[in-house]
Chains A and B, each alone.
Chain A
């Protein structure tokens, strides 16, 4: 019996992660990029005028968006190289499983990069003690889901075009605005020691965004294909 939606998605996700493990180049590139960007941002402001800890949320989530793009770009690249996409499309699995599998792998990728970037920001930007790790991790997961949903879909679209590297950021970044805004604002509230309730509106916006776009992108993905 051919695998159902979930089983097929897991197969695709595992395959993508196995390939990434084998080469690791995209992961390291994204991590190094994050660390470099975070470092460069530090020198763009006057630390006496603005405490670096105040800059931290913005820097963290902006670099998250751009390093996410790096990882997303290779997501469908691996299929295109030798026509492997056709093999996936010819298999007796629902098309949505391909999208969900790749999105799943991309989410793991993005979260892994954030797992390095977040402590780095806390360290380099002297973010004060008592960082509420759990809520911020929750923000990271919500933001990653939204970013990956839209980013995976667009990377599938641009994979077949001539200007892939340029097009992906161009198309995806407007869609990242609500994500980066919500994540950064919510993080700022939390780091400022405000109670969770203050950040709640932003979290709700993020959650709503995730619901809408995961559903929409999963539904629209088969329509973006030839078949």
Chain B
């Protein structure tokens, strides 16, 4: 059963890295979305992923989530190959789309996901997740009736209801106002502190760096820069980024 919170700091020799990806290539014909990418992430760490549109960030996340098979390379999530069905149980996915069923209530959406992941007591876990995101009072409202900010919170609740070891967030700040963004940052921070490994794709340099232990820039399917994050100054980093990928 997944989800035991890992409170200890980065890997010992026996703990598998949360994400271990080597030489990822995603290619069809002449088009190459990823051209050899390595990612290593320990539990309880956050990787901020930056890059221009078309750099391959979404493709990389989809490969890690098991949504897309790589043409070459290996990916292990918590020590298991990503192609296995059971490995997907370790992963949670947040996107700029809410991935919810508009006609169903928040509770129904999250309970459905809990059942898909085989969470014991799915209804209870769903309510717990909604409470954690502060939307429990709207649990029985149809999702379509919620504001964008609340929908995103329900979406996050859906993504974490099974206590994933790895959380993949693809531009989750899209469409959120300042309050929503702050709430999101707080939630993600809490999850990372409790041992979840987080890959965060975002265009918001400052928000990304605030949470990150590492920062990576992807361009044209390759890693062009990879730094440990804490010493980085957001302003300088943003300037470097623009220089690296060309003005956007």
Interface residues of A (CB under 8 A from B): 1-3, 8, 11, 15, 18-19, 22-23, 78, 81-84, 86-94, 226-227
Closest CB of chain B to A14's CB: distance in Å? 9
Given the known inter-chain contacts A87-B93, A227-B66, A227-B69, please indicate yes or no for A93 contacting B116, CB distance below 8 A: yes
- Whether A19 lies near B93 (C-beta < 8 A) is no
For A3, the chain B residues whose CB sits under 8 A away are 115-116, 118
Nearest CB to that of A20 among chain B residues? B103
For B112, the chain A residues whose CB sits under 8 A away are 11, 15
Q: Tell me the complex Cα distance, A227–B117, Å.
A: 19
Question: Which parts of B168-222 form the interface with A (CB within 8 Å)?
Answer: none
B104 in contact (CB, < 8 A): yes
Closest CB of chain A to B158's CB: distance in Å? 7
Given the known inter-chain contacts A81-B102, A90-B66, A226-B67, please indicate yes or no for A1 contacting B95, CB distance below 8 A: no
- Given A3-B116, A82-B102, list of 14 further CB < 8 A pairs? A2-B86, A2-B89, A2-B118, A11-B116, A19-B101, A19-B104, A82-B98, A84-B99, A87-B113, A87-B158, A90-B91, A91-B116, A91-B117, A227-B68
On chain B, which size bracket covers the interface?
A: 20 to 34
Nearest CB to that of A226 among chain B residues? B68
For B113, the chain A residues whose CB sits under 8 A away are 87, 91
Nearest CB to that of A225 among chain B residues? B67
For A82, the chain B residues whose CB sits under 8 A away are 97-102
Closest CB of chain A to B155's CB: distance in Å? 9
Choose among B85, B100, B102 the residue that contacts A94 (Cβ–Cβ < 8 A): B85
- Whether A11 lies near B115 (C-beta < 8 A) is yes
Closest CB of chain A to B14's CB: distance in Å? 24
- Whether A86 lies near B95 (C-beta < 8 A) is yes
B165 in contact (CB, < 8 A): no
- Whether A87 lies near B99 (C-beta < 8 A) is yes
- Whether B116 lies near A86 (C-beta < 8 A) is no
For B62, the chain A residues whose CB sits under 8 A away are 226
- Whether A83 lies near B98 (C-beta < 8 A) is yes
For B60, the chain A residues whose CB sits under 8 A away are none
- Whether B108 lies near A91 (C-beta < 8 A) is no
Q: Tell me the complex Cα distance, A138–B117, Å.
A: 36
For B104, the chain A residues whose CB sits under 8 A away are 15, 18-19, 22
Closest CB of chain B to A134's CB: distance in Å? 36
Q: Please indicate which of the listed interface residues A22, A81, A92 has the most CB atoms of chain B within 10 Å of its own CB.
A: A92
Closest CB of chain A to B15's CB: distance in Å? 21
For A22, the chain B residues whose CB sits under 8 A away are 103-104, 142
Q: Tell me the complex Cα distance, A90–B97, Å.
A: 14
For A226, the chain B residues whose CB sits under 8 A away are 62, 67-68
B153 in contact (CB, < 8 A): no
Nearest CB to that of A81 among chain B residues? B102
Nearest CB to that of B164 among chain A residues? A90
